[in-house]
Amino acid sequence: MELALQAKGITKRFPGVLANDHVNFGLVQGEIHALLGENGAGKSTLMNILYGLYQPDEGQIFVDGVELQFASPHDAIKHGIGMVHQHFMLVPPLTVTENIILGQESTSINGRPASQLSILQRRKAAQRIRDLSHQYKLDVDPEAYVRDLPVGAQQRVEIVKALYRSADLLILDEPTAVLTPQEADDLFIIMRGLAKQGKSIVFITHKLREVFAVADTISVMRAGKMVGTVSPAEATSESLAALMVGREVILQVDKTAAHPGQPILTVTSLHVRDDRQHMAVNDVSFDVRSGEILGIAGVQGNGQSELTEALTGLRHVHSGKVAILDTDTTHVMPREIIEVGVAHIPEDRQKHGLVLSFPVRDNLALCTYYRSPFAQGIEVKYPVLERNAEELINTFDIRTPSAETPVGSLSGGNQQKVIVARELTRAVKLVIANQPTRGLDVGSIEFIHKRIVQARERGAAVLLISAELDEIMSLSDRIAVMYKGSILDIVDARTATREQLGLLMAGVKAQK
Is the model's pLDDT at 294 over the cut of 60?
yes
Provide the pairing of β-strand 58-63 with 66-68. antiparallel
- Stretch 459-471: mean pLDDT: 92
**So what's the pLDDT on residue 504?**
93
Is the model's pLDDT at 117 over the cut of 70?
no
Contact present, 106 and 153 (Cβ < 8 Å): no
Same domain, residue pair 326 and 451: yes
Is residue 354 in a domain? no
Cis omega before residue 260 (within 30°)? no
Same domain, residue pair 156 and 172: no
Same domain, residue pair 24 and 131: no
Nearest to 347 by CA among 417, 437, 423, 429: 437
- List all residues 6 or more positions away from 332 whose beta carbon is below 8 Å from its beta carbon: 313
Tell me which of 104 and 505 has the higher pLDDT: 505
The model's pLDDT over 329-355, given as tens digits with 9 standing for 90+, comes to: 999 999 999 999 999 999 888 889 999
Is residue 280 in a domain? yes
The number of domains in the chain is 3
Rg (CA), the chain: 25
Is residue 412 in a domain? no
Nearest to 252 by CA among 450, 113, 61: 450
| CATH at residue 228 | 3.40.50.300
- Stretch 77-96: mean pLDDT: 89
Same domain, residue pair 2 and 76: yes
**So what's the pLDDT on residue 101?**
87
Is residue 91 in a domain? yes
**So what's the pLDDT on residue 108?**
45
Same domain, residue pair 10 and 67: yes
Nearest to 55 by CA among 82, 35, 75, 37: 75
Same domain, residue pair 2 and 73: yes
The whole-angstrom separation of Cα 395 and Cα 418 is 11
Is the model's pLDDT at 410 over the cut of 90?
no
Same domain, residue pair 193 and 298: no
- Stretch 136-158: mean pLDDT: 88
Is residue 453 in a domain? yes
pLDDT band at 151 (very low <50, low <70, confident <90, very high): confident
Same domain, residue pair 198 and 326: no
Is residue 387 in a domain? no
Same domain, residue pair 52 and 13: yes
Q: What is the separation, in whole angstroms, between the first and last Cα of the chain?
A: 53
Is residue 21 in a domain? yes
Which residue range forms the structural domain that includes residue 91? 87-167
The whole-angstrom separation of Cα 357 and Cα 97 is 46
Is residue 336 in a domain? yes
Mean pLDDT of the chain: 89
Same domain, residue pair 330 and 439: yes
The whole-angstrom separation of Cα 8 and Cα 20 is 11
The model's pLDDT over 206-228, given as tens digits with 9 standing for 90+, comes to: 788 889 999 999 999 998 999 99
Domain end residue (candidates: 199, 222, 249): 249
3-class SS letters over 75-132:
HHHHCCEEEECCCCCCCCCCEHHHHHHCCCCCCCHHHCCHHHCCHHHHHHHHHHHHHH
The model's pLDDT over 372-385, given as tens digits with 9 standing for 90+, comes to: 899 888 888 989 99
Same domain, residue pair 16 and 140: no
Is the model's pLDDT at 319 over the cut of 90?
yes
Same domain, residue pair 172 and 53: yes
